[in-house]
Structure 1
Amino acid sequence: MGFDVAYEALTDHEDDARWAYGTGFADPLSGVDTAVPEGVDRERLAAYCLMLGDDALIMSHRLQQWVTCAPELEDELALANIGLDLLGQARLLLTRAGQVEGAGRDEDALAYLRGAHEFRNVCLAERTDADFAHLVARLLVFATWRLALFDRLAATRDPMLAAIAAKGVKELTYHREWAAQWVVRLGDGTALSHERMRAAVEAVLPLAGELFQSHPVESDLASDGLAVDPAVLRDEFDAVLAQVLTAATLTPAAQPAAGAVAAAGRHGQHSPALTEILEELQALARSVPGGAW
């Protein structure tokens, strides 16, 4: 390792770009132009950044809850790294939302001081997992959708969003591959693992419809070259899922059309699961207002 004390390695960020940036770590977007493009509706752009940031923050928290519960040590580390990748995306996106909004709220205020009705994450991110099969099925759906989104978002007119998306594409590619490998491993494994993976896929796929339903903010910004209309992601998503499920010897199920599922999360309508997450996530910040640690 090259360190006398193992913990000293945590402050060495020169050779590890996977950590969520923060104290002791370099800002991965240092030097990127933070100016908001001329003529952009700042309120809508801030709302869009919140949507994408909330997706990552809540999904990250759910993944971290599985650390120490994965089947193998290697997968514990994989889940921790994936969670940190998403936490890093959340920090960058919430910071951008605060910059664009101009109301003096930073990433901490946006993460810790909003109620559940103010969060705009898709409901898929907040869902609890009955077992490991449900976790990898949910992560596969989430990462496949988000990778297709970020791949296109890298061409946005907003330089900060473009840089965040370009960085995220590399991370999300790994997230999708890791989840896909486990879906295939379980689906094409024993009779028991196959049945559990089948049940997980059938439980998770109906939640995918929301991912492709366009919110007015997304539609308006997409027409201005600043966002991606999620409806255009469906064909790529379906093709990837079909390939993985076929390899896993799981019959690809018919998925609901985007319009058949309300985009509840984008409108602040969430399940009790999000309240549970926020009670844990925000407990310290709310019990010690203004505290620093």
Structure 2
Amino acid sequence: MSGDNIFTGLVEEHDGDARWAFGTGFTEALAGVDTTLPEGVDGPALAEYCQMLGDDALVQAQRLVHWVTDAPELEEEVALANIALDLLGQARLLLARAGQADGTGRDEDAFAYRRDASEFRNVRLTEAPRGDFARCIVTLLVLSSWRLALFTRLAHSVDPVLAAIAAKGVNELAYHREYAVSWALRLGDGTPYSHERMSAAVADVWPLTGELFAAHPVETSLAGLGAGVDPASVREEVREVLDQVLTAATLDAPGAFPDGEVSGREGRHTDELAPLVEELQRVAREHPEATW
């Protein structure tokens, strides 16, 4: 990794447009992409995989929205809202692909608004309590680093739709990580109090990281076909990035990720998800025939 410091080194890896967030842009992202299922890839399995990745983005976006009107500065409210919009755009594309792949023709709204919390397949870290701003930053740092590693590989998926979604998402996620890194450095190597809060946030978030690298059978199967990514394959890359960032921020890097098991991917969630989903779905369920 080049650069004078961890921040510039990470930015250089995805140098290009100077913006840190791109917005949704979902209308044109898949224009001209062949939606035919790749030969040998099971449609329901691909749909379940897209649902997993889409739910991760959808639930994390909903959690980030809780910072609007509540972030330390107006600029940070706008920044976090834009990151949430990026994730929402990814969720829309992935959930729409799920409806194509499973043959039901369901659109993204059907997945987002017509499922109970137990039917969501997101990892638990995305639904974890919001906590303070330090916890928000550590959670965003972990999730964006993990998802960026996945999407970098998914950009070469044999499924052209997944590949197109991932190729677009790589730039968005790189800037999500850049934003989280900048705040991790600022708070971790800031005042004694900000350092204390960041240390506490790392301690709170780290036990939830093991699940990110536990492979569901669908992930393993699709990885073997070149359609998906085994999350275990990105464990060391993500750990190295986080170790470098935390060390540069004068925070103790916990080192190896804890062992984890597949939980959220199988619908086993914390008590935090149900009220989050209820909040997400309230208007759509109260006005089921409405058009927007």
TM-score under structure 1 length normalisation:
0.90
Q: For 1:116 and 1:130, locate their aligned partners in 2 and report how far apart those are by CA, in whole Å.
A: 21
**One-letter code of the match for 1:279?**
E
Q: For 2:96 and 2:255, locate their aligned partners in 1 and report how far apart those are by CA, in whole Å.
A: 38
Question: Does 2:32 correspond to 1:31?
Answer: yes
**DSSP 3-state at the match of 2:209:** helix
Bigger relative contact order, structure 1 or 2 (CA pairs below 8 A, ≥6 apart): 2
Identity %: 60
Q: For 2:197 and 2:78, locate their aligned partners in 1 and report how far apart those are by CA, in whole Å.
A: 23
Q: Which runs of 4+ in 1 moved over 3 A?
A: 254-257
Give the drift of 1:282: 0.6
Mapped contact 2:138–2:202 kept (Cα < 8 A): yes
Which residue of the partner structure matches residue 281 of structure 1? 280
Q: For 2:275 and 2:192, locate their aligned partners in 1 and report how far apart those are by CA, in whole Å.
A: 34
**One-letter code of the match for 1:248?**
A
**One-letter code of the match for 2:131?**
A
The CA deviation string for residues 12-60 of structure 1, in whole angstroms up to 9 with x for no partner, is xxxxx933247xxx43211111111122111100000000000000001
Which of 2, 17, 24 is equivalent to 1:20? Answer: 24
Which residue of the partner structure matches residue 189 of structure 1? 190
Give the drift of 1:63: 0.7
Superposed, 1:137-216 pairs within 5 Å as 137-216=138-217
CA RMSD, 1 decimal: 1.2
The CA deviation string for residues 215-254 of structure 1, in whole angstroms up to 9 with x for no partner, is 0000000001000000010111011001100111011114
**DSSP 3-state at the match of 1:289:** coil
TM-score under structure 2 length normalisation:
0.91
Q: For 1:266 and 1:83, locate their aligned partners in 2 and report how far apart those are by CA, in whole Å.
A: 21
The CA deviation string for residues 189-225 of structure 1, in whole angstroms up to 9 with x for no partner, is 1110000000001110111100000100000000010
Which residue of the partner structure matches residue 134 of structure 2? 133
Give the drift of 1:104: 3.0
Q: For 2:82 and 2:32, locate their aligned partners in 1 and report how far apart those are by CA, in whole Å.
A: 25
Which runs of no fewer than 5 residues in structure 1 stay unpaired? 1-16
Q: For 2:22 and 2:178, locate their aligned partners in 1 and report how far apart those are by CA, in whole Å.
A: 16
Mapped contact 1:206–1:255 kept (Cα < 8 A): no
**One-letter code of the match for 2:48?**
A
The CA deviation string for residues 145-192 of structure 1, in whole angstroms up to 9 with x for no partner, is 000000001000000000000000000000001001111111101110
Mapped contact 1:209–1:255 kept (Cα < 8 A): no
Question: Does 2:54 correspond to 1:50?
Answer: no
Q: For 2:290 and 2:193, locate their aligned partners in 1 and report how far apart those are by CA, in whole Å.
A: 49
Which residue of the partner structure matches residue 13 of structure 1? none
Q: For 2:65 and 2:147, locate their aligned partners in 1 and report how far apart those are by CA, in whole Å.
A: 19
Distance 1:292 1:21, change over 3 A: farther
